A and B are shown apart, each in its own frame.
Chain A
Amino acid sequence: MSSEWPLWEVFIRSQHGLAHKHVGSLHAPDAGMAIKNARDVYTRRNEGISIWVARSADIHASSPGDRAALFEPSNDKVYRHPTFFPMPDEVKHI
């Protein structure tokens, strides 16, 4: 028999209140084993205080071909950045 264990994506939250971050993937037969394996593979040196795992097959991602349509519209909206508005030197605390 050669049915591979499914692939899981692993997300780890480090200390200091940061969001969970993708760190890699692994194979496991079920979610419980995926978390146990993730502990051994991705947190051997205190890298995290919380683990999420999700079946890779369940993740939907944007496609590289849609990059322009999705992200270029924000390029011409520089006024969304505070540095767009020059402030006189005399004005403080703004």
Chain B
Amino acid sequence: MYAQLVETGLKEVQAAADMTAEEREFQARIDADIKIEPKDWMPDAYRRTLIRQIQQHAHSEIVGMLPEGNWITRAPSLQRKAILMAKVQDEAGHGLYLYCAAETLGVSRDQMIADLHAGKSKYSSIFNYPTLTWADIGTIGWLVDGAAIMNQIPLCRCSFGPYARAMVRVCKEESFHQRQGFDIMLTLCRGTAAQKALAQDALNRWWWPSLMMFGPSDATSVHSAQSARWKIKLLSNDELRQRFVDQTAPQADFLGLRIPDDKLAWNEARGHYDFGDIDWDEFNEVIKGHGPCNRDRMRTRTKAWEDGAWVREAATAHEAKRAARDAREAA
């Protein structure tokens, strides 16, 4: 998802017998659905895992602005430009809510940004694909934001208070993103044959990367099992992916678009859609930094950060000067 393959640093799920008294008390609070707040005692592994997870999530929101920002000046009407700008601004806001939540765990903003730029901290694989046509903007809103909602709604109930509260805010805003995407698709699909072909082409390119967003099956993953016990991962990758396919397939039908998967079919007995195999080699390559846009995304982010350095320094210097003047006048 927006946080993929988050490691807990543990080799096995901790059993009650191996826990200290503090750890047992901590787990009991989580089991009782009592939120953990920043000043509460927490195991180091819980803190470190959450920092990794929230940080990845925040980076994804920030890097996620790039493929869409790319289309602001080229959106087909003034209204579409204004809508896309509002959407991209929301993504910046989501990144900021999440960075704040991570900071309550004791990591600094500068450190997180340095880790992203150094390649030490990841962001979602999905943002390493290019946005070639206007239909890609529709598809991102419809599929990528749709997948994000699927993941984020359960996280509103996660055990860490600041993360859960950030997710509540994000979810309230995310629905606009998905609908604006679907509206673009609907407009294209009701347009000329060439416009509909654009929509189909975008779906062809984004479908599989969207399914990969949920990450590989984690049924046997120690990290996922431990994160589930800590209630910072509420549903498995496969459960979320299945929900996403079940929800999206009928929407594609409505648009009159074909999902590029020959094995996609409704399974009456399961009450779910069956779907084909995902190319995990592609996913692993993208995660390792070899996707179509990885280098470009990091170059753009790093440049923005470095180009903005003088502004940050000037604002700090200005405030220091003002404080010194106030102190002189008060004396």
Hey, which bits of chain A sit against chain B, CB under 8 A?
Answer: 1-5, 7, 23-27, 29-30, 33, 40-41, 44-45, 61, 63-64
- Please give me the 9 A-B residue pairs with the lowest Cβ-Cβ distance, nearest first: A29-B315, A30-B319, A29-B319, A25-B100, A64-B40, A4-B110, A41-B96, A64-B39, A41-B93
Nearest A residue to B313, CB-CB: A1
Residues in chain A near residue B316, CB distance under 8 A:
3, 5, 29
Residue B318 at the A interface, CB < 8 A?
yes
Contact B166 A24 (CB under 8 A): yes
Contact status A63-B103, CB under 8 Å: no
Could you tell me if B100 and A4 are in contact, using CB atoms closer than 8 angstroms? no
Is there contact, CB below 8 Å, between A40 and B93? yes
- Per-position contact with A for B73-110: 1 when CB-CB < 8 Å, else 0? 00000000000001001100100110010010000111
Q: Within 8 Å CB of A45, what residues of B?
A: 172-173
Can you pick out 25 interface pairs between chain A and chain B where the beta carbons lie within 8 Å of each other? Answer: A1-B309, A1-B313, A2-B110, A3-B316, A4-B110, A5-B315, A23-B169, A24-B100, A24-B169, A25-B103, A26-B100, A27-B109, A29-B312, A29-B318, A30-B315, A30-B318, A30-B319, A30-B322, A40-B89, A44-B90, A44-B93, A63-B39, A64-B37, A64-B39, A64-B40
Measured between beta carbons, the chain A residues less than 8 angstroms from B266 are none
B41 close to chain A: CB less than 8 A: yes
Q: CA separation between A5 and B169, bound complex, in Å?
A: 24
